[in-house]
Amino acid sequence: MKIPSVKGFRDVLPNEAAARRILIERARAVLESYGFGEIEIPLMERGELFARSVGSTSDIVEKEMYAFDDRDGTQIALRPEGTASVVRAYLEAGLSRAMPIARLYYLGPMFRRERPQKGRFRQFTQIGAEFLGRDDAEADAETLCLVADICEVAGLSGYRIEVNSLGDGECRPAYREALVEFGRARLADLCDDCKARLERNPLRLLDCKNEACSAVTADAPMMIDHLCEPCRTHHDRVLQLVGELGVELTHNPRMVRGLDYYCRTAFEVSAEGLGAQGAVGGGGRYDGLVAELGGPQLPGIGFAFGLERMQLAAGDDRPELNLDIFVAPMAAEAAGPAMALARRLRREGWKVEIGASDKKLKAQLKRADKVGVRYAILLGPDELESGRATVRNLGARSDHPGCFALDATAEEIGRELEGTN
């Protein structure tokens, strides 16, 4: 009996993996051009890390986290996101003293026990960045510019960056109270989720997908109208700088993000072609998080993109895993020399597949066709006798095989392959 994979956990087959690698290389190049260095963080953390950072009332911690007791009783969680781990690692390594301004990025799987559907899995992959130690609007503007540049290199069509300000410890509490009051007065019209979380996490009211809730909150108070003066100034300056950089932003006053730790600038990136799961990435400022996790009062801003959704949105132009050369040994005694030749070609940088000598040439060439190689190199008793391998260009219409000496240099072989075009 076959054993199926775990629900929401998927396999990435070679073509998708190859496309992903290209995406990752491009995103890395952009991140590194902005001075970000990679940090590797573990897949598991103590559960309390996320309860304290993401927030114990967030959906992630309340409903979606893979949390369990280790054999020694330690409460463990598979990481549902990267920011908390990066900040923990940063503090644990003493970097808040050694590197008070830090630009770090990470890459790897995250785990959330959500209901799986297109673009939503229980294990997914994020590439994310954290810019620690700066609270000025310029840092936000640079971060938004970096986000746009990643969207560009990822080939996301029609991407939109939506921004909002979530205020700070000065202005948000009063706004929060105003929103709770607004909700209380309309409690009967809200969905069960909103009813349940109104007092604990009222901001979620604004991004509830339920139509009745959207109707109720159409004239709800918005954070953007309740910002204190410093938050207002900060927000205006971010928009002004980003405008000067030529990056387009859309203001969305209802965008609140799911996590507790955000303040001031928050943003979400959407792209076409994703259906209900429109967000490819998101992030924001989190000036209280480092202190919340036991560190100094250090500000930060960051974001994460989901690679699966980026790939979905960028379309299905997955590169086939094209090989260059197929080596076909046509007799048992040709197998050894064919393998030696293949190894030599691989060391020269060609991607080479080799057939099995007990298969007919026709079957081997069929396989060569299937793996998409351009050239087949044939090696049988005649070739061993003459010391020259036969080359066929499988893409060319005319069939005039070339040949090269088995001890030819890489350049000579290259020229011979080209010559058959």
Burial 97-117 (b: 16+ CB within 10 A, else e): eeeeebbbbbbbebbbbbeee
User: Rule CB under 6 A: which of 47-106 touch ligand AMP?
Assistant: 81
To ligand AMP, the closest distance from the beta carbon of 163 in angstroms equals 14
Contact between 279 and ligand AMP per CB under 6 A: yes
To ligand AMP, the closest distance from the beta carbon of 6 in angstroms equals 14
Q: What is the CA radius of gyration of the chain?
A: 28
Contact between 260 and ligand AMP per CB under 6 A: no
Distance CA 37, CA 34 (A): 9
Contact between 280 and ligand AMP per CB under 6 A: yes
Among 55, 302, 306, 329, binds ligand AMP (CB under 6 A): 306
Distance CA 330, CA 344 (A): 19
Element (H, E) at 160: strand 160-165
Residue closer to ligand AMP by CB (options 230, 275) is 275
Which residue type occupies 16?
Answer: E
Distance CA 91, CA 102 (A): 12
Residue closer to ligand AMP by CB (options 89, 389) is 89
Q: Does residue 221 contact residue 179 with C-beta atoms inside 8 Å?
A: yes
Query: What do you get for the CA distance between the two ends of the chain, in Å?
Result: 49
Q: Which range in 148-156, 276-284, 286-294, 386-394 contacts ligand AMP by CB under 6 A?
A: 276-284
Residue closer to ligand AMP by CB (options 287, 308) is 308
Which residue type occupies 214?
Answer: S
Among 10, 26, 46, 120, binds ligand AMP (CB under 6 A): 120
Burial 127-151 (b: 16+ CB within 10 A, else e): bbbbbbbbbebebbbbbbbbbbbbb
Residue with tokens 């990056």, as numbered in its chain? 247
To ligand AMP, the closest distance from the beta carbon of 101 in angstroms equals 23
Among 281, 295, 299, 300, binds ligand AMP (CB under 6 A): 281
Q: Does residue 278 contact residue 72 with C-beta atoms inside 8 Å?
A: no
To ligand AMP, the closest distance from the beta carbon of 121 in angstroms equals 4
Among 88, 112, 134, 172, binds ligand AMP (CB under 6 A): 112
Residue closer to ligand AMP by CB (options 106, 326) is 106
Binding site for ligand AMP (CB under 6 A): 81, 112, 114, 119-121, 124, 126, 258, 279-282, 304-306, 308-309
